C-alpha cells in the first residue's frame, strides 16, 4: 500500500472508471430464495447476523454509515480507529457483528448498537468486528461495473486484515453443501452471489439469501399492558407495509410476547410511550385487543418465527432486537424468488 490514498493501483480491471469518491452510495441487497442450488457461476458467503454498513475510508475523515445513511461513528469507536489506518481511499461494504459462542449474534449486538460513545469497558465486554465482503470504490475509481469476483480479488490485495477488520471468505460452486454446514453450525444462512455480477444500488436477484430459519423485519405499531409480575409491556403488535396502486396499508402480522429482557421491557416501553396515538395504524386489524396502546409506526424490529399462517400471521414469533438501519416505510413482507417450474 502507499501513502497516496488516491494513487491508481498498478492493475485495475478495464471496467473501473475514474470518478471522485461519493459521500454516499446505496447498498446492494439480496432477495430471499427457497430454491437452493449449486452452480459454477455463483459464489457463496456466510450470512452474518449483524448490522449492514458502508465504510468510507478517508483517513481521519473516515465514516461508517448504516444502510439507511445514518452515521455510526459514535457507536463503534474501535472500528473507526481501525479504518482510519487504511492507506487507500475506498468504499467498503460489510457487516458489523458481535459473537456469542462462536456465532454472530444480533441480540448481543443490541448491547452496542444503541449506545453512542461507549466506554472502554463496554467495548471490551461486547467487542464489535467488521466483516468486509465487497469493494465499491478504490483510489478515485468506481468499481461498481467490475465483476464481483474481481472486486473481491482487489479487496484482498489492497487491504490488510486483522482481528477488528476481517475479510469474509466465500466458496465456489457448492451452495447446497455449504448451506447444510451453515445450518448445522447455527449460522443464519448463506448469501449466494453471481460471480460476474455488477454492483446494483438496489435489491437484486443476482444476490440471493438462503436462510436456515425464518426471520423478518417488522414494524411495531403498538404494545399491550404487562400481566402478572411482568414489567414494561406485555407484547408488541407488529406488521409490514403493502404498497398498491389504490393506496398503501400497514398489514397486521400478529403479537410478539417473547424474547425480551427485563431491562429492555422497561427501556423500550418508555420510548414507545412518547409516540402513542389514539387509533390503530394497522388497516386490516379487526380483532379486539385488550390493554393495547397504539403508537406511530416508526420502530423496526427483527423477529424469528416458524412460519406464516394462511391469514398472514406469524406462528410462534420471537423478538431478536431493534433495527436502526432500515426506515419503517421500507419494511415489506419478504417474498421468496418463485421456483422455476
Length of the chain as a residue count: 341
Q: Which helix (H) or strand (E) holds 207?
A: strand 203-211
Spatial contact of 250 and 241, defined as CB atoms under 8 Å apart: yes
Spatial contact of 129 and 46, defined as CB atoms under 8 Å apart: no
Spatial contact of 66 and 242, defined as CB atoms under 8 Å apart: no
Spatial contact of 249 and 312, defined as CB atoms under 8 Å apart: no
* Separation of alpha carbons 235 and 223, rounded Å: 6
Active site residue 47: yes
Q: How many CB atoms lie within 10 A of CB 89?
A: 22
* Separation of alpha carbons 288 and 2, rounded Å: 65
Catalytic residue among 47, 152, 193, 255: 47
Q: Tell me which residues are annotated as active site.
A: 47
Amino acid at each position: 500500500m502507499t501513502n497516496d490514498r488516491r494513487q491508481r493501483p498498478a492493475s485495475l480491471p478495464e471496467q473501473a472508471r475514474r470518478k471522485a469518491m461519493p459521500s454516499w452510495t446505496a447498498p446492494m441487497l439480496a432477495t430471499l430464495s427457497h430454491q437452493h442450488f449449486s452452480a459454477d457461476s455463483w459464489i457463496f458467503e456466510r450470512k452474518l447476523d449483524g448490522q449492514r454498513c458502508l465504510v468510507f475510508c478517508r483517513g481521519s475523515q473516515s465514516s461508517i454509515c448504516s444502510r439507511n445513511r445514518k452515521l455510526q461513528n459514535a457507536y463503534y469507536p474501535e472500528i473507526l480507529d481501525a479504518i482510519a489506518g487504511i492507506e487507500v481511499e475506498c468504499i467498503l461494504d460489510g457487516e458489523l457483528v458481535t459473537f456469542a459462542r462462536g456465532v454472530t449474534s444480533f441480540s448481543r449486538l443490541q448491547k452496542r448498537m444503541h449506545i453512542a460513545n461507549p466506554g472502554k469497558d463496554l467495548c471490551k465486554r461486547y467487542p464489535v468486528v467488521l466483516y468486509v465482503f465487497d469493494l465499491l470504490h478504490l483510489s478515485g475509481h468506481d468499481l461498481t461495473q467490475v465483476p464481483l469476483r474481481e472486486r473481491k480479488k482487489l479487496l484482498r490485495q489492497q487491504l490488510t486484515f486483522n482481528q477488528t477488520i476481517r475479510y469474509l471468505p466465500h466458496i465456489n460452486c457448492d451452495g447446497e453443501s455449504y448451506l447444510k454446514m451453515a445450518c448445522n453450525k447455527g449460522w443464519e444462512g448463506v448469501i449466494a452471489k453471481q460471480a460476474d455480477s455488477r454492483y446494483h444500488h438496489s435489491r437484486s436477484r443476482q444476490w440471493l439469501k438462503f436462510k436456515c430459519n425464518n426471520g423478518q423485519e417488522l414494524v411495531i405499531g403498538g404494545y399491550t399492558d404487562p400481566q402478572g409480575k411482568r414489567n414494561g409491556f406485555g407484547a408488541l403488535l407488529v406488521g409490514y407495509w403493502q404498497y398498491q396502486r389504490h393506496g398503501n396499508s400497514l398489514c397486521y402480522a400478529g403479537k410478539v410476547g417473547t424474547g425480551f429482557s427485563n431491562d429492555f421491557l422497561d427501556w423500550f416501553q418508555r420510548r414507545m410511550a412518547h409516540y402513542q396515538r389514539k387509533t390503530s395504524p394497522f388497516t386490516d386489524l379487526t380483532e379486539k385487543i385488550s390493554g393495547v396502546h397504539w403508537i406511530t409506526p416508526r420502530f423496526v424490529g427483527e423477529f424469528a418465527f416458524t412460519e406464516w399462517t394462511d391469514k398472514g400471521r406469524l406462528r410462534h414469533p420471537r423478538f431478536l432486537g431493534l433495527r436502526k438501519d432500515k426506515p419503517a416505510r421500507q419494511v415489506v413482507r419478504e417474498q421468496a424468488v418463485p421456483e422455476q417450474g
